[in-house]
Structure 1
Amino acid sequence: MFDALPSLPVHMTAIEISQPGGPDVLVPTQRPVPSPKADEVLIRIHAAGVNGPDVFQRKGQYAPPPGASDIPGLEIAGEVVAVGAAVHRFKPGDLVCALVTGGGYAEYAVANHNVTMKLPAGLGMIEAAAMPETLMTVWLNMIQRGKLRTGESVLIHGGASGIGTTATMIAKAMGASKIITTVGSEAHREASLRLGADHSIDYLEEDFVAIVDEFTGGKGVDVILDIIAGDYVARNFQAAAVNGRIVQVSVLKGPAKELDLFPLMAKRLTLVGSTLRSRTYEEKAAIIAELEAQVWPLIEAGQFKPQVCRAFTLENARGAHELIDSGVHFGKIVLTTSAHLGA
């Protein structure tokens, strides 16, 4: 049994992946509205974030974990409309954002109460939907695993992405001494600098290893946050400082190539990687506790705000994926539902 607002519908619009492929395989369909388990809340979604893992899932390269919904979408914002019997922190009517293991591209989704967060004051639904997966990924990898500290330097690959823009703002808030990003156009370079980067490198025109060496006076950077992989792995070894930490978040260019491990040993580097989706609810809750203590006050003070490039309607998830595939966006892409439009 669960406590719920009256008049919940039986069915909802959701986006399913008809087969592995391009954006055209994202198809609106009708699904039953899920019921929350004892430790879950049911959220009427106003907005859902679009992320790299959704693209990998669409292509058939990133299967949902056991028990997760086959509907894509890992982060949502909306209104709690039902709570399970064991949930005491939330009630119907609460405005929240949440990290989910799937099911975000829909009008309703269930979320474990441990990964559900009340909205910080002053944050709208579209901005909130751009936050849980990306912010938790950056905090886990750059702060917890990469151990970025005040006064250290950081190189952020993919500086125009949701991960990159979030990492830039967090690094700035944490007092990084030098924030360097790599981007793919002059427009993105200028936008990254406005966001807080101290130096931004157009990777299509410049060698980031040479630029990092020059900008740091030959020292290299203390932390590298990488979503690219491929030939970047070996080049990251060259760009890192002695005792540097390299954190692999994604592998957009595929496996490492022509990898010489001697620089890893000679510089005493640490190379780590992780994914967020498969972690336990308890592990995710520990990340959220740190975010609520250290980042929520920044949001409420106006010092941190998720960067949203564009919002698409849920039914036009195909258009959202065409944009993320193009690589021309700066910041996050978000889907909005009829609830956000007041329907």
Structure 2
Amino acid sequence: MQEVLRAIPRECFERDTGKSLAYAACSTAITLACGALAWACVPVTAAYWPVWVAYAFVTGTAATGCWVAAHECGHGAFSDDKTIQDAVGYALHSLLLVPYFSWQRSHAVHHSRTNHVLEGETHVPARLGTEDANVMFKLRGLLGEGPFTFLNLVGVFALGWPIYLLTGASGGPVRGNTNHFLPFMGEKGKHALFPGKWAKKVWQSDVGVVAVLGALAAWAAHSGVATVMALYVGPYMVTNFWLVLYTWLQHTDVDVPHFEGDDWNLVKGAFMTIDRPYGPVFDFLHHRIGSTHVAHHINHTIPHYHAKKATEALQKAFPDLYLYDPTPIATATWRVGSKCIAVVKKGDEWVFTDKQLDPVAA
């Protein structure tokens, strides 16, 4: 890893608190402006549902920039001032119903075990022959490939994030059924997701989320449930969609393997991350989270405004290791939802298969 880090210009590791705050403020301002405009101009009636759908997409897309800014806070990439960093991250993530410290810990585990088939965290694929894999193959057999892929994508994008927070779904199997709000859930000891001091931090995270839920309930009591659904819940669902899309496509595709035991190491896992072409608009709004994610996994303290330079350095220094897939996002998403059902052991790698009985493995 030290060899890899030496290839990245030193200035890429420098954090500028003012610049980070400006980016976070920009994302927040765009989000709030969208909400204020809709509240002032669009009636909350069924006749305007197409407008509210468009509003949800635009505002939820903008709010994803707030999510990414908070994500940088959790990684220590936002500022050298830890108080400012945690205050911004806690506020932004709580407003998006994300338990800040809980996610900070689980996401750090994700970085420390990227593409480890047993100890990874988030989007860990099911192994061929397990109950989870068998259920997916049975559903695919009943529905057919096309309808299965469609329902798989809808389920993952609509429910994947809250289910992960509440049950640890797609988390590493060694950790059991975890819960980001209840630190005592899941395995204990070596593979505990929230060991030691982290239990207290989980409870601290809960305070922020509960406070926001209370504010939403009070708003609904004052202005009506429909208003809250239209102005907040719609964009919230779109933000969750972007979060799941990015994380899923960053670590999953038909030709990206997983590892275990001595076949896995930190550098190998970090380079099993895929940069993709999201285009200038989404790169701006989402602070290049999808197009510079390899560099982020090589070192998560690199601020996003240095990530492009770091990415170019890695691509030049390690062209055989750096992964970039130019496939259009919609096409890549359908391929992942259709073909990446389970992994099977082949040699020292676990590779994806869309066949329940893999002839090579047999």
Under TM normalisation by the shorter chain, which class is it?
under 0.3
Which has the larger share of strand?
Answer: 1
Which has the larger share of helix?
Answer: 2
The TM-score, its normalising length taken from structure 2, stands at 0.26
The TM-score, its normalising length taken from structure 1, stands at 0.27
Q: Which structure has the higher relative contact order (CA within 8 Å, separation 6+)?
A: 2
